[in-house]
């Protein structure tokens, strides 16, 4: 599968400014900032809340009684009281030592997403950050300055410590960043070029910048957006397969779905009915001489599998919405009561569980897609199509190895479906003795979603060739539009063998960009 850890330059399209206030950011806000490069600004109510919480921290910092994260060490070192004159060094040391990531760079959109979500928590007025520190983070997002964050380093408890620490390090003018053009530069140099000055962190600020589930949450929100598009595209692929394999659309009738009232199943079945409407291929075997009683499970049960995945995505979205409305930090400032309290809200379990759940659903949707693809290639199951859809079987291999590629990816997705959140390795001298591994769950889900898009693309490639081979019968208007999209983009129809990888890559791009979905929806309207 594709390398998911390449750093990408900022988009060149100008996006409207996203305002970050005391309330939660939305899914659309995060996607705009992470993927479209939208600039960010803090609202006045956010700045007021930040100032109020900062006053509580400064009062506690001036007091004689030790306060965790303000005048003590961290984790297993929390019993060490830090003298006033050393507290600037305490914050610098925290960020420098925790910026311990390793491995390839993670994607620019992931870093921008986690920065926005950390800024959103800062804006709630529960962290004790100073306004100038929060404003610098907003300015970095607006100028497209993206800290280099590495693949490994987060246990998903005490937040995504290492990834967030690399971002905090850049605020201090240290470490490496990518500028708006994607060029690797020292942070101090990139800040200066943008007319920005680094901050010197004061009491509690280092901890406030690094103690959150922002990385895994940002990846969850993006995964939900990707899966919602991909599951509608999978319905298109399934419709093309049912049609191309001379299956029936009667099993998708709404009265049959109503007696098992899962909402995702109903939506998927309704999509299949609409996608196959007015198909000459389907109409050709609605006659009394058709001797097949039932289609194979991979055709007949497509709405049940796709629908279960849709319901899983909706559950994950409800968890993400609650997390977006949260202020994740430890200790947390309670300005109304003038105190700072330790808590366990940084634990990533709620996010980690649904990330793993989505990986399971992703693997299963890919699995049923690959089975539909395979049926086209076996002459004993394809109802009159040539072996492997080859032009001259024996001389030509047709799409034989495209199915191998799909099967290889599905096998990998099954491995990626093994939960990360059931693992826990103690850290910090057993102080942090149970962790979520939510970052790992998010990273593997991203790879799984990439794999699903490739498996669905291979099914669409295969089904399109099969529909072309049903000579004299027109596919439905919606599926026909998808076939034309492929042909207009240089993807070959039936004929002698040719270099197949570029055709697969072209369809993958059409799936991932949303072009396949758009082609069908232009004909029949928005799919459920």
Q: How far apart are CA 79 and CA 504, in angstroms?
A: 59
Mean pLDDT of 197-210: 94
Residues 295, 404: one domain?
yes
Rg of the chain (C-alpha set): 26
Mean pLDDT of 398-422: 97
Residues 225, 205: one domain?
no
Q: How many domains does the chain have?
A: 2
Task: Indicate whether 463 pLDDT > 60.
Answer: yes
- Neighbour tally for 220: CB within 10 Å: 28
Query: CA torsion 114→120→123→127, rounded to 10°?
Result: -50
Residues 366, 394: one domain?
yes
Give me 512's structure tokens: 């991932």
pTM of the model as a whole: 0.94
pLDDT band at 324 (very low <50, low <70, confident <90, very high): very high
CB 112 within 8 A of CB 149: no
In a domain, 76, yes or no: yes
Task: Indicate whether 297 pLDDT > 90.
Answer: yes
Phi-psi region of 106 (alpha: psi -120 to 50; beta: other; left: phi over 0): beta
Task: Indicate whether 525 pLDDT > 80.
Answer: yes
Mean pLDDT of 3-22: 67
pLDDT for 80? 76
Residues 198, 234: one domain?
no
Helix, coil or strand: residue 330: coil
Place of tokens 């069908």: 520
Residues 179, 43: one domain?
yes
In a domain, 337, yes or no: no
Q: Considering 195, 212, 229, which residue would you say is the last residue of a domain?
A: 212
Give me 479's structure tokens: 């599926």
Residues 301, 394: one domain?
yes
In a domain, 347, yes or no: no
Residues 29, 168: one domain?
yes
Task: Indicate whether 178 pLDDT > 70.
Answer: yes
Which of 7-11, 87-91, 345-349, 521-525 has the largest mean confidence? 521-525
Instruction: Say which of 68, 152, 297, 353 is annotated catalytic.
Output: 68
In a domain, 334, yes or no: no
Residues 190, 303: one domain?
no
Residues 261, 387: one domain?
yes
Nearest alpha-carbon partner for 121 in 302, 257, 305, 323: 323
In a domain, 105, yes or no: yes
* Mean pLDDT taken over the chain: 93
Residues 186, 323: one domain?
no
Q: Considering 180, 212, 244, which residue would you say is the last residue of a domain?
A: 212
Nearest alpha-carbon partner for 230 in 456, 36, 446, 1: 456
Phi-psi region of 126 (alpha: psi -120 to 50; beta: other; left: phi over 0): alpha
In a domain, 407, yes or no: yes
In a domain, 353, yes or no: no
**DSSP states of 110-122 as a string?**
HHHHHHHHHHHHH
In a domain, 430, yes or no: no
Residues 468, 491: one domain?
yes
Q: What CATH code is carried by the domain that includes residue 85? A: 1.10.275.10
152 is a catalytic site residue: no
Q: Considering 194, 212, 230, which residue would you say is the last residue of a domain?
A: 212
Domain ranges, residue 147: 18-212
Q: What CATH code is carried by the domain that includes residue 402? A: 1.20.200.10
pLDDT for 293? 66
Residues 132, 194: one domain?
yes
């Amino acid at each position: 599968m594709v390398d998911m850890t390449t750093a990408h330059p900022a988009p060149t399209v100008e996006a409207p400014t996203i305002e970050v206030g005391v309330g939660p950011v939305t899914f659309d806000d995060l996607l705009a900032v992470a993927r479209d490069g939208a600039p960010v600004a803090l609202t006045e109510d956010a700045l007021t809340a930040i100032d109020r919480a900062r006053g509580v921290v400064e009062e506690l910092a001036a007091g004689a009684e030790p306060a965790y994260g303000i005048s003590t060490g961290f984790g297993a070192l929390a019993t060490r009281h830090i003298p006033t004159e050393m507290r600037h060094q305490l914050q610098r040391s925290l960020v420098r030592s925790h910026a311990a990531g390793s491995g390839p760079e993670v994607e620019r959109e992931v870093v921008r997403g986690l920065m926005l979500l950390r800024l959103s928590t800062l804006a709630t007025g529960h962290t004790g950050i100073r306004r100038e520190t929060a404003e610098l983070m907003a300015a970095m997002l607006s100028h497209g300055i993206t800290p280099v964050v590495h693949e490994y380093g987060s246990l998903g408890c005490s937040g995504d410590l290492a990834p967030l620490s690399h971002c905090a390090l850049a605020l201090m003018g240290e470490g490496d960043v990518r500028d708006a053009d994607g060029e690797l530069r020292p942070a101090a140099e990139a800040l200066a070029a943008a007319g920005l000055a680094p901050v010197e962190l004061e009491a509690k600020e280092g901890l406030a910048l690094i103690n959150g589930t922002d990385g895994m949450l940002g990846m969850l929100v993006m995964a939900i957006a990707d899966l919602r598009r991909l599951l509608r595209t999978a319905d298109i692929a399934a419709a093309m397969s049912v049609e191309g394999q001379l299956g029936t659309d009667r099993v998708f009738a709404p009265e049959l779905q109503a007696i098992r009232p899962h909402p995702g199943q109903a939506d998927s079945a309704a999509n299949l009915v609409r996608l196959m409407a007015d198909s000459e291929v389907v109409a050709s075997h609605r006659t009394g001489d058709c001797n097949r009683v039932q289609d194979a499970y991979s055709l007949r049960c497509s709405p049940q599998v796709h629908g279960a995945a849709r319901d899983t995505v909706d559950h994950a979205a409800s968890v993400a919405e609650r997390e977006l409305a949260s202020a994740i930090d430890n200790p947390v400032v309670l300005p109304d009561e003038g105190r700072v309290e330790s808590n366990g809200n940084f634990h990533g379990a709620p996010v980690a569980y649904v990330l793993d759940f989505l990986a399971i659903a992703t693997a299963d949707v890919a699995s049923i897609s690959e089975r539909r693809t395979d049926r086209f290639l076996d002459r004993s199951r394809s109802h009159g199509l040539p072996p492997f859809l080859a032009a001259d079987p024996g001389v030509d291999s047709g799409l034989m190895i495209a199915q191998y590629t799909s099967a290889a990816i599905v096998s990998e997705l099954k491995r990626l479906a093994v939960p990360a959140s059931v693992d826990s390795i103690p850290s910090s001298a057993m102080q942090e003795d149970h962790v979520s591994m939510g970052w790992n769950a998010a990273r593997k889900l991203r790879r799984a979603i990439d794999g699903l898009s490739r498996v669905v693309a291979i099914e669409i490639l295969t089904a399109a060739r099969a529909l072309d081979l049903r000579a004299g019968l027109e596919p439905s208007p919606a599926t026909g539009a998808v076939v034309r999209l492929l042909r207009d983009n240089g993807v070959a129809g039936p004929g002698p063998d040719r270099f197949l990888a570029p055709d697969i890559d072209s369809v993958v791009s059409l799936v991932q960009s949303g072009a396949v979905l758009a082609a069908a929806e232009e004909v029949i309207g928005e799919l459920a």
